[in-house]
Each structure stands twice: as structure tokens, then as C-alpha cells.
Amino acid sequence: MMPYQSYQIYQVERTKTYAEIRRTDEQLGHLAQSVSRLWHHAIRPVALHRGSRGRPVCPALPDAAR
């Protein structure tokens, strides 16, 4: 076992403070936000292409108001 691995095991097993737990949750939230933003950016061309086949992606006005 490498020395770094024993430190990782120590970090996993030790009790975390509330501040550390909050900080970890905050970091996970930022990570999820970034992944979501990247995912929406990646699928946007597909969504726009699918919407151009007759279904408007987000119509500006309903048919009655035109």
C-alpha cells in the first residue's frame, strides 16, 4: 500500500465537522451546476435541430395572438 493510500483511508474514516460537511455539499452543488450547464450546452444543437422539423422549440406568441 502506498503512503498516500493510507492517508486517504484516514480521511475517509475520520469524523467530519459540520463546516467540512457544509463545504463538501457546497462543492458538490457547484460541480452539479457545472455538469448540468455543460450537458445543456452539449445537447442544445440537437434540441434546436429537432425543433426545426415543424415543432417550434419555444414559440414567441400563441397562434391566436398572431
- Cα–Cα–Cα angle for 19, 23, 26, nearest 5°? 140
pLDDT in 10s for each residue of the chain, 66 residues: 678 899 999 988 999 999 999 999 999 999 999 999 999 999 888 877 776 555 555 555 555 554
Close Cβ partners of 24 (under 8 Å, ≥ 6 residues apart):
16
- Burial grade of 16 (CB within 10 A; 0-12, 13-18, 19 or more): exposed
Contacts 24+ apart (CB under 8 A), 50-55: none
Whole-model pTM above 0.75?
Answer: no
